[in-house]
Amino acid sequence: MAAKWNMIVDIERCNNCRACFLAVKDEHTGNEFPGYAAEQPAMGHNWLDIERKERGTYPIVDAHFMPVMCNHCDDAPCMKVAKNGAVKKREDGIVIIDPEKSKGQKEIVDACPYGAVSWNEDKQIPQVWIFDAHLLDEGWERTRAEQSCPTDVFRSVKVEDEEMQRIREREGLEVLQPELGTKPRVYYKNLHLMNCCFVGGSVAAQVGGVEECAEGAEVVLKQNGSEIARATTDTFGEFKIDKLEPNSGQYQLEVSGDAGGLSTQFDLGGESLYLGVLTLAAAA
């Protein structure tokens, strides 16, 4: 079995510096690579782009960034609609849209469920990020996006499929919209930062008639009577429990500390939730 290229993207490491975006622009704007890609237009095409996600409300808020690009799917919808072999899957897993054969085939753009294919109006061709196949074929071991990234967001991996699945399971990697069945070769680490919710709150306690932050309180999250997760409050009495499915219904929250305990319920909708200040009550 032949080794194939895969890209691992760690969302937690991305700070939106956009060095990867600029590296792709620099490589393809004004440069033509026959057999791989025609030059990228100076404006309007983002073959590698950055999506942004903000979660929560003050004072517990986070923002994360996710590089998106052609997924080089093994069951690529663009290949199914292409005529005359305009889209091909190489033995090393990379998908190439032929810049000559694809002329006039705008349906290739519409077929991509990820919106990763751009239409070059001047040249009348569809275009995508080519996984720097032209450089890898010259002996490069990393794409320019990976080389340019200062925080090690990207990791190019060329391995057999069985080994890639072992890596996927070991590192908890996921693909975008797995329900589509397109079998992407771009894998994401910490994808929950984009598609899951968290619940957070601030725990306080009455000490000598003064309300203070309750550091070290134990927080247990339950659903239908079963424990889902737990956390410990920090110096500011704050806690955060992540990786909750959006619109997942009712939860029970139990908090216990030196100054007492409390129990409360809430419904989780489509967005992360801040429960406000929760004050521990001494046992009667």
- For 214-271, the three-class secondary structure string (H helix, E strand, C coil) is CCCCEEEEEECCEEEEEEECCCCCEEEEEEECCCCEEEEEEEEECCEEEEEEEEECCC
Residues 6+ apart with CB under 8 A from 219: 201, 203, 230, 231, 232, 233, 239, 241, 253, 254, 255
Q: Mean per-residue pLDDT for 55-73? A: 97
User: Which of 194, 215, 241 is at the close of a domain?
Assistant: 194
pLDDT in tens, 151-191: 999 999 999 999 999 999 999 999 999 999 999 999 999 99
pLDDT at 86 > cutoff 70:
yes
Does the predicted TM-score (pTM) go above 0.75?
yes
Whether residue 130 is found in the same domain as residue 244: no
How high is the pLDDT of residue 206?
Answer: 87
How high is the pLDDT of residue 268?
Answer: 98
The pLDDT > 90 percentage for the chain reads 95
Whether residue 141 is found in the same domain as residue 176: yes
Mean pLDDT of the chain: 96
In a domain? residue 284: no
pLDDT in tens, 221-270: 999 999 999 999 999 999 999 999 999 999 999 999 998 999 999 999 99
How high is the pLDDT of residue 38?
Answer: 97
Whether residue 30 is found in the same domain as residue 111: yes
User: Which of 152, 176, 194 is at the close of a domain?
Assistant: 194
pLDDT at 84 > cutoff 60:
yes
pLDDT in tens, 122-149: 999 999 999 999 999 999 999 999 999 9
Whether residue 190 is found in the same domain as residue 244: no
Q: Determine the residue type at 12.
A: E
User: Which of 142, 171, 194 is at the close of a domain?
Assistant: 194
pLDDT at 1 > cutoff 90:
no
Domain that holds residue 220: 196-279
How high is the pLDDT of residue 284?
Answer: 55
Whether residue 225 is found in the same domain as residue 177: no
* CATH code (residue 147): 3.30.70.20
Whether residue 170 is found in the same domain as residue 48: yes
pLDDT at 114 > cutoff 90:
yes
